[in-house]
Structure 1
Amino acid sequence: MPGPFTDTIETPRLVLEPLGVHHADEMADVLGDPRLHRYTGGEPLTPAELRARYERLVTGPSPYHQEQWLNWIARRRRDGRAVGTVQATVTPADGGPRASVAWVVGMPYQGFGFASEAAVALVDWLTAHGVREIVASVHPDNLASATVARRAGLRRTTRYAGDEAVWSNIRDGGY
């Protein structure tokens, strides 16, 4: 598994900076549109709720969980504006570490390829750090996220996690 991370990941248009509690107020604005929850459920968090969530994420799971929570804020290079987040939960598995990944881009920044660029960078970073299998759960009706998963090198499998299709970089009867 990757060691403790402090890496900033850079792409042509984005800088993925490790998540900090101080990002909560800024990200509450980016993630505040209820339409972002169309496929995932729930509703936007207030700045205080997001700060509490980020405190838990930055602290990480209890040591006995044998998993790592890796989270980044995606910023546009040209102006430093936060546009979204990417995350990975890395767990030990037979044959090498496994990561479950996710991404979200604020409504005003959708349609510009930021989610794909950030997800590709995340998958590349995880692969370079020895993660063998990478999966994402995508609601079957969320065509935009399916496109992001495909661009990140994932293929839809025949598996489901709840009502979401599992996408993976490992072939297992996917289509």
Structure 2
Amino acid sequence: MFGPIAETVETQRLVLEPLAVHDAGEMAGVLGDPRLHDFIGGEPLTAAELHARYEHLVAGPAPFHQECWLNWIVRRRRDRRAVGYVQATVTPGTAALRADVTWVVGMPYQGFGFATEAATAMLGWLRDHAVREVTAAVHPGNAASAAVARKIGLRPTGRRSGEEIVWRNE
């Protein structure tokens, strides 16, 4: 296997727990609002569909791939309720490891700073594990996600990935 293995990360208000297949039922509810998919694409998955997806993510990429998939469920510390997820795909870079990252917070939990707090914690963890270059793809209409990207030190590059703008750390 290539790259680091996800570990639990704690912040003042959140716990980032490595993804487990049994999280699918709870996360189907967190990700079930169709409005959430306006910017991330697709439609809400059922618990069974999410279970199958999580089985695939937990298994990781094929051994010959030079990448690793790091996925965390974001939970509130006070009640351990899932509020979203963060993830990073880590690959070799020109001088060090690089990661493509994303963050998603369920509709009822938006506006409380959870995405920024979770993304900041993930980036700190990645830095501690030799990741130096970070990119994220943000839909141009998603002002909230662009604000998170700015707060965690990413800047728009002018490059695109499909409809999304690629942001990068400096």
TM-score (norm 2): 0.97
Contact 2:86 2:119 in 1 (8 A): yes
What count of residue pairs does the alignment treat as equivalent?
Answer: 169
Letter of the 1:117 counterpart: E
Q: Which runs of 4+ in 1 moved over 4 A?
A: none
Partners of 2:163 and 2:109 in 1: CA distance: 26
Equivalent residue number for residue 35 of structure 1: 35
Written as runs of structure 1 = structure 2, the 5 A alignment for 1:15-164 is 15-164=15-164
Contact 1:2 1:130 in 2 (8 A): no
Secondary structure of the residue aligned to 2:32 is coil
Distance of aligned partners of 1:41 and 1:4 in 2 relative to their CA distance in 1, 3 Å threshold? closer
Task: Give the drift of 1:158.
Answer: 1.4
Letter of the 1:83 counterpart: V
- Structure ranking higher in strand proportion: 2
RMSD: 1.0
Task: Give the drift of 1:39.
Answer: 1.4
Letter of the 2:5 counterpart: P
Partners of 1:126 and 1:156 in 2: CA distance: 20
Report % sequence identity. 67
Any idea what the Cα deviations from partners look like across 1:113-148, whole Å, max 9, x if unmatched? 000100011111111110010000001110000011
Contact 1:30 1:84 in 2 (8 A): yes
TM-score (norm 1): 0.94
Secondary structure of the residue aligned to 2:40 is coil
Task: Give the drift of 1:4.
Answer: 2.6
